[in-house]
Structure 1
Amino acid sequence: MLVVEAVHALTQRGVAATVNAVATEIGIDQSGASRLVKSATEAGYLTMHAPDRDGRQRRATLTASGRTMLDQAHDWQERVFDQLTEGWSEQRRRDFQQAMTELIDRSYALDP
Protein backbone atom coordinates (compact mmCIF):
# COMPACT_ATOMS: atom_id res chain seq x y z
CA MET A 1 0.00 0.00 0.00
CA LEU A 2 2.83 2.37 0.85
CA VAL A 3 4.31 2.26 -2.64
CA VAL A 4 0.89 2.57 -4.30
CA GLU A 5 0.16 5.65 -2.20
CA ALA A 6 3.58 7.08 -3.08
CA VAL A 7 3.04 6.57 -6.83
CA HIS A 8 -0.38 8.20 -6.56
CA ALA A 9 0.96 11.19 -4.58
CA LEU A 10 3.84 11.74 -7.00
CA THR A 11 1.54 11.55 -10.00
CA GLN A 12 -0.93 13.97 -8.40
CA ARG A 13 1.91 16.48 -8.00
CA GLY A 14 3.04 16.02 -11.61
CA VAL A 15 6.25 14.22 -10.62
CA ALA A 16 7.39 11.18 -12.61
CA ALA A 17 6.94 8.12 -10.37
CA THR A 18 10.39 6.64 -10.93
CA VAL A 19 11.93 4.26 -8.43
CA ASN A 20 14.19 7.06 -7.17
CA ALA A 21 11.21 9.40 -6.73
CA VAL A 22 9.30 6.68 -4.86
CA ALA A 23 12.35 6.15 -2.62
CA THR A 24 12.48 9.85 -1.78
CA GLU A 25 8.72 10.02 -1.24
CA ILE A 26 8.69 7.24 1.35
CA GLY A 27 12.11 7.97 2.82
CA ILE A 28 14.00 4.79 2.00
CA ASP A 29 16.96 3.92 -0.18
CA GLN A 30 16.67 3.20 -3.89
CA SER A 31 17.20 -0.54 -3.55
CA GLY A 32 14.43 -0.86 -0.97
CA ALA A 33 12.07 1.16 -3.14
CA SER A 34 13.01 -0.97 -6.14
CA ARG A 35 12.00 -4.12 -4.25
CA LEU A 36 8.71 -2.55 -3.15
CA VAL A 37 7.90 -1.38 -6.68
CA LYS A 38 8.76 -4.81 -8.04
CA SER A 39 6.49 -6.52 -5.49
CA ALA A 40 3.61 -4.13 -6.18
CA THR A 41 4.06 -4.68 -9.91
CA GLU A 42 4.08 -8.45 -9.50
CA ALA A 43 0.94 -8.19 -7.34
CA GLY A 44 -0.77 -6.30 -10.15
CA TYR A 45 -1.06 -2.91 -8.44
CA LEU A 46 1.47 -1.05 -10.63
CA THR A 47 2.78 -1.15 -14.16
CA MET A 48 6.19 0.09 -15.22
CA HIS A 49 6.76 1.78 -18.56
CA ALA A 50 9.42 3.87 -20.23
CA PRO A 51 8.48 7.18 -21.85
CA ASP A 52 9.21 7.41 -25.58
CA ARG A 53 11.87 10.09 -25.20
CA ASP A 54 13.97 8.36 -22.53
CA GLY A 55 13.73 4.59 -22.37
CA ARG A 56 16.06 4.43 -19.37
CA GLN A 57 13.73 6.28 -17.02
CA ARG A 58 10.95 3.84 -16.21
CA ARG A 59 7.85 5.20 -14.51
CA ALA A 60 5.24 3.50 -12.37
CA THR A 61 1.51 3.95 -12.85
CA LEU A 62 -1.43 2.49 -10.98
CA THR A 63 -3.36 -0.37 -12.49
CA ALA A 64 -7.12 -0.73 -12.02
CA SER A 65 -6.41 -3.06 -9.08
CA GLY A 66 -4.01 -0.53 -7.59
CA ARG A 67 -6.59 2.22 -7.94
CA THR A 68 -9.24 0.03 -6.29
CA MET A 69 -6.92 -0.74 -3.37
CA LEU A 70 -6.07 2.96 -3.02
CA ASP A 71 -9.75 3.95 -3.06
CA GLN A 72 -10.55 1.34 -0.40
CA ALA A 73 -7.68 2.55 1.77
CA HIS A 74 -8.83 6.16 1.45
CA ASP A 75 -12.39 5.13 2.35
CA TRP A 76 -11.06 3.39 5.45
CA GLN A 77 -9.00 6.46 6.36
CA GLU A 78 -12.11 8.64 6.08
CA ARG A 79 -14.06 6.29 8.35
CA VAL A 80 -11.27 6.39 10.95
CA PHE A 81 -11.09 10.19 10.69
CA ASP A 82 -14.84 10.35 11.29
CA GLN A 83 -14.47 8.16 14.39
CA LEU A 84 -11.53 10.17 15.72
CA THR A 85 -13.31 13.47 15.25
CA GLU A 86 -16.68 12.35 16.53
CA GLY A 87 -18.28 15.26 18.34
CA TRP A 88 -16.35 17.86 16.36
CA SER A 89 -18.27 20.45 14.39
CA GLU A 90 -18.05 20.28 10.60
CA GLN A 91 -16.15 23.58 10.68
CA ARG A 92 -13.56 22.16 13.08
CA ARG A 93 -13.12 19.09 10.85
CA ARG A 94 -12.68 21.25 7.75
CA ASP A 95 -10.22 23.55 9.54
CA PHE A 96 -8.16 20.58 10.73
CA GLN A 97 -8.11 18.98 7.28
CA GLN A 98 -7.11 22.30 5.71
CA ALA A 99 -4.29 22.81 8.22
CA MET A 100 -2.95 19.29 7.61
CA THR A 101 -3.12 19.80 3.84
CA GLU A 102 -1.18 23.05 4.16
CA LEU A 103 1.50 21.36 6.28
CA ILE A 104 1.88 18.54 3.77
CA ASP A 105 2.09 20.99 0.88
CA ARG A 106 4.76 22.98 2.73
CA SER A 107 6.72 19.79 3.42
CA TYR A 108 7.14 19.26 -0.34
CA ALA A 109 8.89 22.63 -0.56
CA LEU A 110 11.43 21.41 2.02
CA ASP A 111 12.39 18.34 -0.02
CA PRO A 112 15.69 18.65 -1.84
Structure 2
Amino acid sequence: MLVSEAVHCLTERGISATVNAVAHEIGIDQSGASRLIKSATSAGYLVMEASAADGRRREASLTPAGRSTLNQAHRWQEEVFDQLAAGWSEQRRREFQQAMTDLMDRSYATEA
Protein backbone atom coordinates (compact mmCIF):
# COMPACT_ATOMS: atom_id res chain seq x y z
CA MET A 1 0.00 0.00 0.00
CA LEU A 2 2.85 2.40 0.76
CA VAL A 3 4.02 2.56 -2.84
CA SER A 4 0.47 2.77 -4.20
CA GLU A 5 -0.25 5.68 -1.85
CA ALA A 6 2.96 7.39 -2.95
CA VAL A 7 2.06 7.04 -6.64
CA HIS A 8 -1.44 8.35 -5.94
CA CYS A 9 -0.17 11.36 -3.96
CA LEU A 10 2.45 12.25 -6.54
CA THR A 11 0.01 12.16 -9.44
CA GLU A 12 -2.56 14.14 -7.43
CA ARG A 13 0.07 16.87 -7.09
CA GLY A 14 0.90 16.72 -10.81
CA ILE A 15 4.29 15.06 -10.28
CA SER A 16 5.39 12.16 -12.49
CA ALA A 17 5.54 8.97 -10.42
CA THR A 18 9.02 7.93 -11.50
CA VAL A 19 11.07 5.55 -9.38
CA ASN A 20 13.13 8.47 -8.06
CA ALA A 21 10.03 10.52 -7.22
CA VAL A 22 8.47 7.56 -5.39
CA ALA A 23 11.72 7.00 -3.49
CA HIS A 24 11.77 10.64 -2.41
CA GLU A 25 8.06 10.59 -1.48
CA ILE A 26 8.44 7.65 0.91
CA GLY A 27 11.94 8.49 2.09
CA ILE A 28 13.90 5.49 0.86
CA ASP A 29 16.65 4.95 -1.68
CA GLN A 30 16.01 4.41 -5.38
CA SER A 31 16.77 0.69 -5.28
CA GLY A 32 14.27 0.13 -2.47
CA ALA A 33 11.59 2.06 -4.31
CA SER A 34 12.34 0.10 -7.45
CA ARG A 35 11.81 -3.19 -5.58
CA LEU A 36 8.54 -1.94 -4.05
CA ILE A 37 7.27 -0.78 -7.44
CA LYS A 38 8.24 -4.10 -9.02
CA SER A 39 6.39 -5.99 -6.30
CA ALA A 40 3.27 -3.81 -6.60
CA THR A 41 3.39 -4.20 -10.39
CA SER A 42 3.63 -7.99 -10.06
CA ALA A 43 0.67 -7.93 -7.67
CA GLY A 44 -1.36 -5.99 -10.25
CA TYR A 45 -1.61 -2.71 -8.31
CA LEU A 46 0.66 -0.61 -10.53
CA VAL A 47 1.70 -0.42 -14.16
CA MET A 48 4.92 1.12 -15.47
CA GLU A 49 4.69 2.92 -18.80
CA ALA A 50 6.77 5.30 -20.86
CA SER A 51 6.17 8.95 -19.97
CA ALA A 52 3.98 10.88 -22.40
CA ALA A 53 6.31 13.86 -22.00
CA ASP A 54 9.61 11.95 -22.32
CA GLY A 55 9.58 8.44 -23.75
CA ARG A 56 12.92 7.66 -22.07
CA ARG A 57 11.35 7.94 -18.62
CA ARG A 58 9.05 5.38 -17.06
CA GLU A 59 6.19 6.34 -14.78
CA ALA A 60 4.05 4.31 -12.42
CA SER A 61 0.30 4.58 -12.32
CA LEU A 62 -2.42 2.76 -10.43
CA THR A 63 -4.31 -0.03 -12.11
CA PRO A 64 -8.05 -0.41 -11.44
CA ALA A 65 -7.17 -3.09 -8.85
CA GLY A 66 -4.64 -0.75 -7.25
CA ARG A 67 -7.14 2.10 -7.12
CA SER A 68 -9.77 -0.20 -5.60
CA THR A 69 -7.38 -1.49 -2.95
CA LEU A 70 -6.22 2.03 -2.14
CA ASN A 71 -9.83 3.18 -1.80
CA GLN A 72 -10.48 0.28 0.60
CA ALA A 73 -7.41 1.28 2.63
CA HIS A 74 -8.64 4.87 2.79
CA ARG A 75 -12.08 3.72 3.98
CA TRP A 76 -10.42 1.62 6.70
CA GLN A 77 -8.30 4.61 7.78
CA GLU A 78 -11.43 6.74 8.02
CA GLU A 79 -13.17 4.08 10.13
CA VAL A 80 -10.20 3.96 12.51
CA PHE A 81 -10.16 7.75 12.73
CA ASP A 82 -13.89 7.75 13.51
CA GLN A 83 -13.23 5.32 16.37
CA LEU A 84 -10.30 7.35 17.71
CA ALA A 85 -12.19 10.64 17.47
CA ALA A 86 -15.42 9.34 18.94
CA GLY A 87 -17.01 12.11 20.95
CA TRP A 88 -15.24 14.94 19.08
CA SER A 89 -17.41 17.79 17.89
CA GLU A 90 -17.65 18.54 14.18
CA GLN A 91 -15.70 21.74 14.80
CA ARG A 92 -12.85 19.82 16.45
CA ARG A 93 -12.79 17.34 13.56
CA ARG A 94 -12.64 20.17 10.99
CA GLU A 95 -9.91 21.96 12.93
CA PHE A 96 -7.86 18.77 13.19
CA GLN A 97 -8.30 18.07 9.47
CA GLN A 98 -7.31 21.64 8.60
CA ALA A 99 -4.23 21.45 10.85
CA MET A 100 -3.12 18.20 9.19
CA THR A 101 -3.74 19.65 5.72
CA ASP A 102 -1.70 22.73 6.64
CA LEU A 103 1.17 20.52 7.84
CA MET A 104 1.15 18.49 4.63
CA ASP A 105 1.04 21.61 2.47
CA ARG A 106 3.95 23.08 4.39
CA SER A 107 5.85 19.81 4.05
CA TYR A 108 5.40 19.86 0.26
CA ALA A 109 6.39 23.54 0.09
CA THR A 110 9.68 22.87 1.90
CA GLU A 111 10.58 20.25 -0.72
CA ALA A 112 10.48 22.77 -3.58
Q: TM-score range by the shorter chain?
A: over 0.9
Q: Give identity over the alignment, percent.
A: 72
1:51-73 CA deviation, whole Å, 9 max, x = no partner? 24422210000000000110000
TM-score by length of 1: 0.96
1:25-68 C-alpha deviation (Å, 9 max, x unpaired): 00000000000000000100000100244222100000000001
**Residue of structure 2 equivalent to 1:78:** 78
Unaligned runs of 5+ in 1: none
Q: TM-score, normalised by structure 2?
A: 0.96
Q: State whether structure 2 residue 60 is matched by structure 1 residue 69.
A: no
Distance apart, 1:76 and its partner CA = 0.4
Q: Per-residue displacement from partner, 1:59-109 (whole Å, max 9, x unpaired)?
A: 000000000110000000000110110010011001101110110011011
- Does residue 28 (structure 1) correspond to residue 34 (structure 2)? The answer is no
Taking a change above 3 Å as real, the CA distance of residues 111 and 80 of structure 1, as seen in their structure-2 partners, is same
SS at match of 1:28: coil
**Cα distance change on mapping 1:91 and 1:37 into 2, 3 Å:** same
The aligned amino acid for 2:86 is E
Aligned to 2:91: 91
Aligned position for 1:38:
38
Aligned-pair Cα RMSD in Å: 0.9
